[in-house]
Amino acid sequence: MELRIDRSSVERCRALAQAIAAPVSDFIDAHSTVAVERSVLRLLGVDGVGADEIPVPNVIVDALGADAKADGVSLAFGRAVAETGLAPEILGREIAAGSHAVTDFARVPAEAARAALRPHVEAGLERVRSRRVERDERLARLPQQPAPLLYVIVASGNIYEDRTAAVAAAEAGAQIIAVIRSTGQSLLDFVPYGPTTEGFGGTYATQANFKIMREALDEASERLGRYVMLTNYASGLCMPEIATTAALERLDMLLNDSMYGILFRDINMKRTFVDQHFSRMLNAYSGIVINTGEDNYLTTADAVEQAHAVLASQFINEEFAHRAGMPDRQIGLGDAYEISPDLEDGFLFQVAQAQLARQIFPQAPLKYMPPTKHMTGDIFKGHLIDALFNLTSVMTGQTIHLCGMLTEAIHTPFLGDRVLAIENAQYVMNTARHFGEEISFKDGGRIETRARDVLSDCERLLSRVAETGMMESIEGKAFADVSRPPDGGRGFDGVFARGPEYWNPFEEALRAELGLSAARGAAAAVR
Amino acid sequence: MSTSVKPYGDTMNDGKVQLSFTLPVEWSEAADEAARQLVAKMGFEDVQVAEGRRIASGFSFFVVYASTPQAIDFSTIKAPSAKTHAMSMEEVDAFVNERLGRKVRVAGACIGTDAHTVGIDAILNMKGYKGDYGLERYHAFETFNLGSQVAVEDLVRFAKEKNIDAILASQVVTQKGSDVRNFTALVELLEAEGLRDRVVTICGGPRVTNLMASELGYDAGFGRGTLPSEVASFIALRLAERPALSRS
C-alpha cells in the first residue's frame, strides 16, 4: 500500500525546514533561560522546596543578578560548591534555608568552580544514562506487543486514583499510560513538589508523582510480561525541568512540540525555542521518545483545509529534533483523525494523510491522535468514529495510538470507558492487522490525489515561512491562524543572552555525547 | 390530556432504559447478581444484566436493561431556551444598526485555568461553526477574543477599560465543579465592580444549560451545538431591551 508521491518535493520540504530552523538555532545558541538553568541544578542533584513551597532550583536561579545569570547558574553554584565543599543537594537546601547566598562566592575563580562541579556533572549524566540502560534491559526482557501501541490517558487529579486507573488500563491492554497534567500547569514557572491529590482536568506533574506511577507500572509490567510505558508533558514554562525529572524517573515518552506552547498557551516563542532545544538534547540522551502536537492545529482549524499545516509542522518538528541530536526513532510526529464525520469520503482523506506521513517519515514512531472535535454526547456514534480511526491507524502503520474515548466530549475517562476504548482498538487492529499490506491505492485516485495536494500545499507553506522567517511567520499567523509576537507572551522575562563566560556543563557534555557541534553563541567563540 | 411520559423501548410506557457501569469487584456470578440488585435498588423493575465481565483485576463492567416505574408530567417542565429568537447574521447586523446605531463590543475568554478554547473560538472566530459565521465576521460587533486561561480579574478589568457590552465566558473543564466556581467568581466580581447591569453576561461550554446560567446570575447560557448566530441574536435582542444600554 504505497502512495506514488513526488519524492523531490519531499526533499525540498526537508531543505526548507532546515532553512527555517537555521536562524532560530543561531538565536538558541546565544541564549539561555531560567528554566534551562534550573534544569542544570536539578541534574546536579538540587531538589526540594524552601520557604512558601518555592522549589530550591527557583530560589537559587532567582537570586542571581543579571551578570551572574548571563554566565549561567553553573559558575555561581560551582563556586559555592568549591568553597563549601558541600554536595549540591545539601548546598541547595542550605541556600534555600538562608545559611548561604549563592552570590557570596564571586571571588572564587571560575576554574575552581568548573573543577568542583565536574564530578557532580558526571554523576548527573550517569543517573540519566543508567535509567536509559534500565529501560533497554526491561524492554528486552518484557517485549511490547506490536504497534500501533495502545496509549490511554489518566486524569483524575489524584495520583493514587490515577495509579489504580493506569494499572487497570495496562491489564486491559494499554501499552502506554499518559498522566494528563492539571490544567494551567504549563503556565507555572516552577515544578510543584511532592505527591499531589488535587488537580483540575489532570494531575500535577511532579517528580514524586512520576515515581509513584513508574513503580506501579513496573510492577504491572512484570506481572503482565510486557513493558508498560509512561508519558507526561514537557511543555509550558518548565519544559526542560520536566525533561530532566522524566529522565531521572525513567519516563519513556514526553509530549514536546516546537510550536504548541507558543500558539496555544501564549508562551513566548524565544523562551520556547531555547527551552525546547535543551529539553530535546536531554530527551535524546535519555532515550525518551517525544510526541509532537500537530493534532492541536486541527482542534481549532478545519482538518481538511489545514492538512498541509500538519505536514509542514511535522517537517519543522523533525528538523528541530535532529538539531538537538534526536534520532528518527525518538521523534514521534503527530497527526489526528479530526475530519468531520459528515464529509463524504472523509475517511479517504484521513487515510491519505496518515499514509503520507508514514511514507515521508518511515522511521519515526508516528503518534496518531483520536477524534475529539466532532465527538458529541452521542457515545454510540463516538465509538463508531473511533473504530474507523483505529482502522486508519492499523492500515497505515501508525506507531503510537492514542485510543479514542466514546465519552470524549463528556468527562475525563471513567475506568470502564478506557477499557471499552482499548477493546475497540484491539478488535479492529486484530481483525484488520495486515489489511494495509493487501491493498494498493488506485493510481491517481482520490486518496493519492489528496496526498499529492497536501504535499504540494505543504511545500508552498514551508517556502513562505522560509522566506518570511520562523518567528515572523508565527507573528504573521502562518500557523493555526494565531499571531504571537517574538517578544510577547508568557515567560519572555526568563530569557537572557549568554555572556562571554556562559557555561552549561550539561549542554557541553550532551553535545559531545550526541555528536553535535559546539554552540555557536558568544560563549563558544570565547573558549 | 395527560402529558405524562416514560422512556419508550418498543411499546408505549414500557419505561425501558439502558445502563452501563463498572463495579470495583472481581467478576463472578455474584457480581452479576450484585449489579442486578443494585439496579433494582435504584427503583428499576424487570432488571436484566445483558453483559457482565471482568475488565481488570478487581473491576467488572455491566450493561443492564431495566424498566422504570417513574413518569414525568411534561407540561410542568420549565427550561427556557436562549435560542428562541435566532436571526441570521444579516438580520442581526441590520437590527443592531437600526436599534443601537453603533457597534456592540463583545469580549470572550476561556476563564480560570481552562485552556480549551474550542467553544469560544467556534462562537467568535471569523470562520464560525457548522457553516455559521463567527461574531468577528458581523458588522454589528467589535470582538475581542482574549483566549485561554484568562483570570476573571483581567476579564473584568478589560471589560471596564474597553466599555464592553457583552461578556462571553467559556468553560470546558468541569472537574470538581471548577466551571461553576469560575462562572460564579466572574459574576460576583462584575457585581462588586458595579458592572453587572451594564453588560450582557453569557456563559458557555458543553455542560452549560440556560437554566444553570440563570441560576448563576447570567443573562444566558449556551451549551453544546450552539451556533454563533444564536449567541449574536441573543446579545442584540437583550441589548435592545435595555434602553439604558442601547445608546451609551
| Mean pLDDT along residues B12-39 | 98
Any chain A CB within 8 A of the CB of B173?
yes
Mean pLDDT of chain B: 91
The model's pLDDT over A71-89, given as tens digits with 9 standing for 90+, comes to 999 999 999 999 999 999 9
* Residue B127 designated active-site: yes
Element (H, E) at A369: strand A367-369
* CA A429 distance to own-chain centroid: 26
Any chain B CB within 8 A of the CB of A427?
no
Q: At what angle do helices A346-360 and A379-395 cross, to 10 degrees?
A: 40
Question: What does the alpha-carbon distance between residue B128 and residue B87 come to, in Å, rounded to a whole number?
Answer: 15
pLDDT classification of B177: cutoffs 50, 70, 90:
confident
Question: Which candidate, A269, A188, A235, A236, places its Cα nearest to that of A489?
Answer: A269
Nearest by CB to residue B55, choosing from A186, A265, A419, is A419
Q: Exposed/middle/buried for A139, CB within 10 Å: 0-12, 13-18, 19+? A: middle
Q: Do B173 and A415 touch (CB under 8 A)?
A: no
**Rg of chain A (C-alpha set):** 23
Question: What does the alpha-carbon distance between residue A105 and residue A113 come to, in Å, rounded to a whole number?
Answer: 10
Closest-approach residue (CA) in chain B for A372: B118
For the ranges A7-11, A406-410, B235-239, the maximum mean pLDDT occurs at A7-11
Whether A522 shows a pLDDT value over 50: the answer reads no
Return the pLDDT at A262: 93
Question: Minimum mean pLDDT among A238-252, A412-426, B78-92: which range?
Answer: B78-92
* Torsion angle defined by CA atoms of residues A340, A346, A347 and A348, in that order, rounded to the nearest 10 degrees: -160
Any chain A CB within 8 A of the CB of B125?
yes
Which CATH number fits the domain B4-72, given the four candidates 2.130.10.10, 3.90.1150.10, 3.30.30.60, 3.10.20.30?
3.30.30.60
Q: In sequence order, what are the beta bridge partners of B19? A: B64
Closest-approach residue (CA) in chain B for A165: B56
Query: How close B126 comes to chain A (CA, Å)?
Result: 11
Question: What does the alpha-carbon distance between residue A289 and residue A420 come to, in Å, rounded to a whole number?
Answer: 27
Q: Do A415 and B55 touch (CB under 8 A)?
A: yes
Whether A525 shows a pLDDT value over 60: the answer reads no
Any chain A CB within 8 A of the CB of B148?
yes
Q: Do A409 and B55 touch (CB under 8 A)?
A: no
pLDDT classification of A480: cutoffs 50, 70, 90:
confident
Which CATH number fits the domain B89-246, given the four candidates 3.40.50.280, 3.90.1170.50, 1.20.1050.10, 3.30.450.20?
3.40.50.280
pLDDT classification of B73: cutoffs 50, 70, 90:
very high
Q: At what angle do helices A239-248 and A34-44 cross, to 10 degrees?
A: 20
Question: What does the alpha-carbon distance between residue B59 and residue B78 come to, in Å, rounded to a whole number?
Answer: 40
Element (H, E) at A233: strand A229-233
Residues in A closer than 8 angstroms to B122, CB to CB, are: none
Residue in B41, B127, B160, B162 annotated catalytic:
B127
For CATH 3.40.50.280, list the domain ranges present in chain B.
Answer: 89-246
The model's pLDDT over A156-201, given as tens digits with 9 standing for 90+, comes to 999 999 999 999 999 999 999 999 998 789 889 999 999 999 988 8
Question: Which candidate, B145, B117, B112, places its Cα nearest to that of A184?
Answer: B112
| Mean pLDDT along residues A496-501 | 96
* Residue A477 designated active-site: no
pLDDT classification of B247: cutoffs 50, 70, 90:
very low
For CATH 3.30.30.60, list the domain ranges present in chain B.
Answer: 4-72
Q: What is the largest CA-CA distance in chain B?
A: 71
pLDDT classification of B55: cutoffs 50, 70, 90:
very high
pLDDT classification of A56: cutoffs 50, 70, 90:
very high
Query: How close B124 comes to chain A (CA, Å)?
Result: 12
Cell of A422: 482499548
Any chain B CB within 8 A of the CB of A308?
no
Return the pLDDT at B248: 44
Question: Which candidate, A504, A497, A506, places its Cα nearest to that of A527?
Answer: A504
Any chain B CB within 8 A of the CB of A201?
yes
The secondary structure of A403-436 as a DSSP string is PPPTTTTTSSPPHHHHHHHHHHHHHHHHHTTTHH
